[in-house]
């Protein structure tokens, strides 16, 4: 929880200064921003952490990131994508060792292979991945028509949440579908499902239609520190950044998740450096106008780079050697004119709060869905629309 936080007041004076959680007693005032930490049993670690000052917060904790209230997201919905994940026992036998992994193959790139799969099994897939580790792990996107034809889905329903509701799924047919697809594509035979935490076959089916991207990669949030004593307050701006899946979920089958994750981390590092070189010196000089101009410039650079991130391919990256943090060493199309275009559009990213904080994502993902996300299976970029 970022400041301010104000508890236990009485006539402008702390009722119990030793345990007061206001800013002046939790951590005092000084350079940078502070945060209130709550969680340790004794409270000593919380107060020690609360005393630390910081200038930058980076969110890199995945799709359901902690900073969601400060970063509205846009949802991309493509055509219906139904994902199946399945784990099978790896017996470490000769056939298990010789099985060839499938790093990610899509129908549009190998139509003959997918048609042969359909002819032999009546299974129609849009894509599939197979990884061999502690288990044989498969992730695939199946067509609704084939799931209905094979009896996995009992009834064709228009609403996705009803279509994929447990009541509309024939569990036994789902197991047969997943095993048949796994054995045909990998060449393995007599596969046995691994068991999940509920001691049930580890196979799941779910909607994989939506992916999310943050509308902005950065903002400068004003943090106000307050004290229980009258007049005891101060404020500063903290640079907030997103990286990885918190910023931009990957599209499959481009295999872009890890690559764009690294690019966004380098972009964030460059922005943090510019904040230290431009904004903090102006702040130390107590020149509000110069500080504001510097913040606008830093955010404009970051947002102009973010516009290019989703377009990156191996062909349009400037260099495969990322030894420098400079954006032009990564993005061929990044120029100062791009920064000039974005500059008038970033001032709303500076301030205490957004006009309307965005809601959290509508539901928490299951463990199977999270594992599938990590395998970067989704719809192709050409299927997506805002």
Give pLDDT, residue 234. 66
* 143-177 pLDDT tens trace: 999 999 999 999 999 998 899 999 999 999 999 99
Q: Give the CA radius of gyration of the chain.
A: 26
pLDDT level of residue 235 (50, 70, 90 thresholds): confident
Is the predicted pLDDT of residue 353 greater than 70, yes or no? no
Q: What is the pTM of this model?
A: 0.66
Q: Is 305 within 8 Å of 267 (Cβ atoms)?
A: yes
pLDDT of residue 44: 72
- pLDDT (0 to 100) of residue 20: 56
* Whole-number pLDDT of residue 8: 37
- In the predicted model, is pLDDT for residue 301 greater than 80? yes
Cα 162 → chain centroid: 26
Q: Percent of the chain, pLDDT > 90? A: 51
Range of lowest pLDDT (261-270, 294-303, 353-362)? 353-362
Instruction: Show me where the domains of the chain are located.
Output: 55-75+212-367, 80-208
**Mean pLDDT, residues 319-330 taken together:** 79
Residue 123 has pLDDT above 60, yes or no: yes
Please tell me the predicted confidence (pLDDT) of residue 311: 85
- The answer on pLDDT for 136 being more than 80 is yes
Binning pLDDT at 50, 70 and 90, where does residue 305 land? very high
- pLDDT > 50? residue 3: no
Of 17-31, 105-119, 127-141, minimum mean pLDDT range: 17-31
Average of per-residue pLDDT across 9-25: 50
Q: Give the pLDDT of residue 270.
A: 97
């Amino acid at each position: 929880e970022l400041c301010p936080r104000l508890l236990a007041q009485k006539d402008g004076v702390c009722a119990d200064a030793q345990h007061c959680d206001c800013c002046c007693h939790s951590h005092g005032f000084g350079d940078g921003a502070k945060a209130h930490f709550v969680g340790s049993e004794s409270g000593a670690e919380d107060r020690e952490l609360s005393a630390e000052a910081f200038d930058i917060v980076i969110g890199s904790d995945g799709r359901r990131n902690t900073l969601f209230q400060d970063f509205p997201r846009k949802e991309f919905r493509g055509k219906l994508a139904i994902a199946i994940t399945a784990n099978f026992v790896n017996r470490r036998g000769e056939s298990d060792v010789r099985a060839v992994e499938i790093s990610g193959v899509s129908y549009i790139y190998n139509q003959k292979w997918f048609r042969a799969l359909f002819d032999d099994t009546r299974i129609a897939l849009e894509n599939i991945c197979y990884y061999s580790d502690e288990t044989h792990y498969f992730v695939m996107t199946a067509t609704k028509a084939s799931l209905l034809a094979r009896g996995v889905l009992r009834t064709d329903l228009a609403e996705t949440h009803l279509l994929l509701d447990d009541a509309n799924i024939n569990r036994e047919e789902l197991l047969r579908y997943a095993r048949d697809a796994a054995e045909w594509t990998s060449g393995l035979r007599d596969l046995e499902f691994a068991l999940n935490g509920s001691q049930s076959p580890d196979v799941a089916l779910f909607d994989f239609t939506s992916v999310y991207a943050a509308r902005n990669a950065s903002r400068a949030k004003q943090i106000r520190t307050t004290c229980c004593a009258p007049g005891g307050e101060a404020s500063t701006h903290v640079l907030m950044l997103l990286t990885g899946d918190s910023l931009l979920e990957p599209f499959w089958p481009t295999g872009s998740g890890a690559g764009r994750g690294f690019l966004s981390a380098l972009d964030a590092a460059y922005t943090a450096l510019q904040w230290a070189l431009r904004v903090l010196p102006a702040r130390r000089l107590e020149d509000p106008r110069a500080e504001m101009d510097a913040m606008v410039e830093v955010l404009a650079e970051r947002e102009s780079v973010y516009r290019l991130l989703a377009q990156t391919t191996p062909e349009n990256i400037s260099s495969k050697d990322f030894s420098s943090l400079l954006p032009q060493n990564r993005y061929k199309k990044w120029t100062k004119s791009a920064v000039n275009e974005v500059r008038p559009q970033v001032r709303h990213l500076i301030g205490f709060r957004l006009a309307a904080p965005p809601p959290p994502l509508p539901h928490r993902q299951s463990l199977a869905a999270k594992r599938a996300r990590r395998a970067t299976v989704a719809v192709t970029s050409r299927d997506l629309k805002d």
